[in-house]
Amino acid sequence: MTAAPDDAAPRPHWAVRMNRRNRSVFFALLAGVIGVHLFEHQAPTSAWLALALQFALYPQLVYWRALRHAQPREAEVQNMMLDGFCFGLWSAGLGFPLWISFILFAGACVNLTVFMGLRGGLMETAVMAAGGLLGTLLLGPVTWKPGTSLLVSFLCMAVLTGFLVVFARDGFLRARDQYESRAQTLRQLEEIRLLQSRLQDLALRDPLTGLFNRRHLDEALAAALSAAQRSGQPLALLMIDIDHFKQINDTHGHPAGDAMLQALATLMQDQVRPDDLACRVGGEEFVLVLRNTSAEAAQAIAQRLRLGFEGLAVAHGGAMLQATLSCGIACFAQHGRDARALTAAADAALYAAKVAGRNRVVVAPPVGPQDAPAAAYFA
Which candidate, 334, 195, 350, 224, places its Cα nearest to that of 281?
350
pLDDT band, very low/low/confident/very high, at 73 (cuts 50, 70, 90): confident
- CB neighbour list of residue 350: distance below 8 Å, 6 or more residues apart: 239, 240, 241, 326, 327, 328, 362
The distance from CA 253 to its chain's CA centroid, rounded to whole angstroms, is 47
Average pLDDT over residues 143-168: 87
pLDDT of residue 142: 75
pLDDT of residue 307: 95
Is 379's pLDDT higher than 60? no
Q: How far apart are CA 132 and CA 33, in angstroms?
A: 19
Q: What does 5-62 look like in DSSP terms, one character per residue?
A: GGGSPPPPPHHHHHHHHHHHHHHHHHHHHHHHHHHHTT--HHHHHHHHIIIIIHHHHH
Active-site residue set: 284
User: Residues of the chain with pLDDT > 70: what percent?
Assistant: 94
Residue limits of CATH 3.30.70.270 in the chain: 214-377
- CB neighbour list of residue 264: distance below 8 Å, 6 or more residues apart: 209, 240, 242, 286, 309, 325
CB 285 within 8 A of CB 301: no
pLDDT band, very low/low/confident/very high, at 375 (cuts 50, 70, 90): very low
Is 2's pLDDT higher than 80? no
Average pLDDT over residues 346-366: 94
pLDDT of residue 7: 52
pLDDT of residue 371: 47
Report the chain's terminal Cα–Cα distance, integer Å: 78
Whether domain 214-377 has CATH 2.40.50.180: the reply is: no
Q: How far apart are CA 22 and CA 28, in angstroms?
A: 10
| Residue 128 burial (CB count, 10 A) | 25
pLDDT of residue 350: 96
| Residue 126 burial (CB count, 10 A) | 14
pLDDT digits (tens, 9 = 90+) for 269-326: 988 888 899 999 988 999 999 999 999 999 999 999 999 999 999 988 888 999 999 9
Q: What is the mean pLDDT of the chain?
A: 87
pLDDT digits (tens, 9 = 90+) for 204-259: 889 899 999 998 998 899 999 999 999 989 999 999 999 999 999 988 899 999 99
